Structure 1
């Protein structure tokens, strides 16, 4: 028995002897140093929407586990810099990160799948923001284009906000809102829309109504948006005072061609979320930022009046 107690005591002392250095070592251990990430953000010279998104910068730095340093330059300055002169500035802001082996390794998958690009000096992160500026596009003064999917609840919400503003006399003078449609098209597969064929067919009808009954277009949307997935679009047309036969007679030829043009236009701007706002043909905006344009405060969904919208802000 004494031998057993002696053995246990020896083991306990030995355990303490090995444990003590481990605790001391733990105190001396240092957290690994963060990588340094040198950001260069190329901003628009014209619009605030083309400036740095500080939350995005912080998010990228966190993903890289890096300590960021940020240098902001204007498009004109970047275009004059030999190291940056040949980059694609079609959409601003453009995010650049000075290339190092460590940064490249952390973004290897992004490079592999085309979400990031690279040259000798930088990792290039194009089109990272939900709002931004299309550099070099021809301007459309005073025009707000509203891109929607016709059976998207958030798109219908945006339209309802416009309808309510019209009723309340809040539409800004000298400015216009035009509805555009988000749809895919190719010769082999035809049209494709997120909510199915019924959605792109509704797009066609709305395009024809906008062309031949422009004064009744918003009235139709007001009625249709109460039940936009119903198959009884004809009732909505009749209630709005639209000749259903006239519209459907033009569906297969003219209507289809109009929708092809919409598919081309949405693809040109890379729009795929409903709703998306395009101000003056150059500035891409979301709900929050669109409401900041002078005269368009009614596009803030949080300030909507009862009945103006049935769903919270978001996108399809």
Structure 2
């Protein structure tokens, strides 16, 4: 089974599915209030938002682990000034929200299976496969959405408004959960609301006990216009270091220039480098999650939107970072090529594709490669690099053909359909190895690990089609059914 999504130890996101169906409200309760016999979790999320899926996974895991815990999940949507549905990721996300709400209303017990199948079929029409897998014809689901989707989405919208929710959120008995997005933090918050006799006892770890005794280190976050801090990530730091309070600096501020003159990426989370901090972050430091600077440990958040602040501008150039067999990367390529062909991109915009993987030298000094989806993937990377260099005018046509079934071994069929000489492509394979080694090295130097990621005009970085669509000039590039997830090494 292919590994679809992986995040670093400090911030983990699993796209997992669970039971979503409307449940009656429970009495509100908060920390310190009297325990109740049952606890109700409510999860609000945008259908293609990775952060929302994380909250969903956490809530579902807690629900399964504890007795007498129910859960409701509501697709989170918005309306524009005309009262029309509006989504950050376009019509595809609105349609996905309606299908989820409709399937849950009419076939609630099967909804977790539907969503699981949908996450494994991330292309635009993958919902059809998911419906069939669950025993419902796509035509039946379409008909139910046509009749009921609008009303069901209005119900979800009304519930979010009543709860005062405008972004991904978790409510526990009607009260906002304000803790960290970590499984044990949410577990503890829910567990303590149950009667003493129904609570689940958990072992106390030495690290958890030590965290309470660690003094909060000096903590600064550097941001800039259009590049904001991640509140959920803030929760992770708060969980590691109780009582920690960040000082937010603008990249252009005198304090940043004086204290961190070499900072090259935003947002940057900067911790004072102390013995206690190193103890608490030992695993993250070992994994290379933090960059070590003089007196500080720095985490560069490259899982959403950021900026290479010191980079040289490259006007009109969109660099696309993918794994050639990642379904989300393939979706991104198709969407961009379609937009390019329809002249929906900024005038004079150029697209340049790069590949995510690892390169090392073998015993003979030749480059050896590792890619998330195995040898067939890096071999396909090489072919695409060869085509880009020797036959650049044919690359987009080849990608559209190849991406119909990128895992097929018959790449020659796609090449011939695109008007390429497959022998000429194959003959360039050895030269392509050198091209791939250089490309892997370049992408690794940027610290980019998630497919698809984008770099606009040399400085503006983002992960996922939803984030790209927020860039002026790219609003009409559709997410093509993307779930907001990605493939990461």
Alignment-derived partner of residue 124 in structure 1: 297
For residues 273 and 247 of structure 2, the distance between their equivalents in structure 1, rounded to whole angstroms, comes to: 14
Q: 2:183 — aligned with what?
A: none
**Residues 1-316 of structure 1 aligned to structure 2 (within 5 Å):** 39-44=219-224, 48-49=226-227, 51-66=228-243, 68-81=245-258, 84-85=259-260, 88-97=262-271, 106-107=280-281, 109-111=283-285, 114-116=288-290, 123-130=296-303, 131-188=305-362, 190-252=368-430, 254-287=431-464, 288-301=466-479, 304=480, 312-316=483-487
Please say if residues 264 and 310 of structure 2, whose CA atoms lie closer than 8 Å, have aligned partners that are also in contact: yes
Q: Give, in angstroms, the shift of residue 85 of structure 1.
A: 4.3
Task: Rate the CA distance shift 1:77–1:231 in 2: closer, same or farther, 3 A.
Answer: same
Shift of 1:248: 1.3
Give the Å deviation of 1:171. Answer: 2.3
When residues 102 and 197 of structure 1 are mapped into structure 2, their CA distance, relative to the original with a 3 A threshold, is: closer
Q: Secondary structure at the match of 1:226?
A: coil
Partner of 1:11: none
Question: Do the aligned partners of 1:161 and 1:298 also contact (CA within 8 Å) in 2?
Answer: no
The answer to whether the 8 Å contact 1:93/1:132 transfers is yes
Deviation at 1:65, TM superposition (A): 3.0
Corresponding residue number in structure 1 for 2:7: none
The answer to whether the Cα contact below 8 Å between 1:143 and 1:280 also exists between their aligned partners in 2 is: yes
Aligned-residue offset at 1:124: 2.6
Q: What is the distance in 2 between the residues matched to 1:218 and 1:193? A: 22
Deviates more, 1:286-295 or 1:61-70: 61-70
TM-score under structure 1 length normalisation: 0.74
Task: Supply the distance in 2 between the matched residues of 1:173 and 1:102 (Cα, whole angstroms).
Answer: 52
Query: Greater CA radius of gyration, 1 or 2?
Result: 1
Q: Is the 8 A contact 1:37 1:61 kept in 2?
A: no
* 1:143–1:177 CA contact under 8 A, matched in 2: yes
Q: Is the 8 A contact 1:183 1:262 kept in 2?
A: no
CA–CA separation in structure 1 for the residues paired with 2:403 and 2:485? 17
| Cα displacement string for residues 257-301 of structure 1 (whole angstroms, at most 9, x for unaligned residues) | 211221121112111211111112222211232211111124452
Give the Cα–Cα distance (whole angstroms) in 1 for the partners of residues 334 and 263 of structure 2. Answer: 35
1:116 and 1:123 in contact (8 A); partners too:
no
Between 1:176-185 and 1:62-71, the stretch displaced more is 62-71
Give the total of aligned pairs. Answer: 270
Deviation at 1:61, TM superposition (A): 1.8
Deviates more, 1:154-163 or 1:168-177: 168-177
SS in 2 for 1:241: coil
Q: Is the 8 A contact 2:237 2:244 kept in 1?
A: no
Q: Cα gap change, 1:78/1:43 in structure 2, threshold over 3 Å: closer, same or farther?
A: farther
In structure 1, what is the Cα distance between the partners aligned to 2:442 and 2:213? 47
Q: Report the CA distance shift for 1:232/1:48 in structure 2 as closer, same or farther (over 3 A).
A: same
Aligned match of 1:14: none
Structure 2: gaps (5+ residues): 1-211
Q: Tell me if the contact between 1:34 and 1:66 (Cα under 8 Å) persists in the aligned partners.
A: no
Distance 1:35 1:242, change over 3 A: same
| 1:147/1:274 contact within 8 Å kept | yes
Q: Relative to structure 2, which stretch is displaced further, 164-173 or 254-263? A: 164-173
What's the secondary structure of 1:56's corresponding residue? Answer: helix
Q: Is the 8 A contact 1:208 1:255 kept in 2?
A: yes
> What CA distance in whole angstroms lies between the structure 1 residues aligned with 2:311 and 2:474?
22
Question: Relative to total residues, which structure has the larger helix share, 1 or 2?
Answer: 1
What's the Cα RMSD here?
Answer: 2.9
Aligned-pair distance for 1:110?
Answer: 4.1
Taking the aligned partners of 2:445 and 2:273, their CA distance within structure 1 comes to 30
Q: Scaled by the length of structure 2, what TM-score is found?
A: 0.50
Shift of 1:113: 5.5
Deviation at 1:135, TM superposition (A): 3.2
Distance in 2, matches of 1:127 and 1:90, equals: 9
What CA distance in whole angstroms lies between the structure 2 residues aligned with 1:103 and 1:261? Answer: 36
Matches of 2:290 and 2:267 in 1, distance apart? Answer: 14
SS of 1:52's equivalent in the other structure is coil
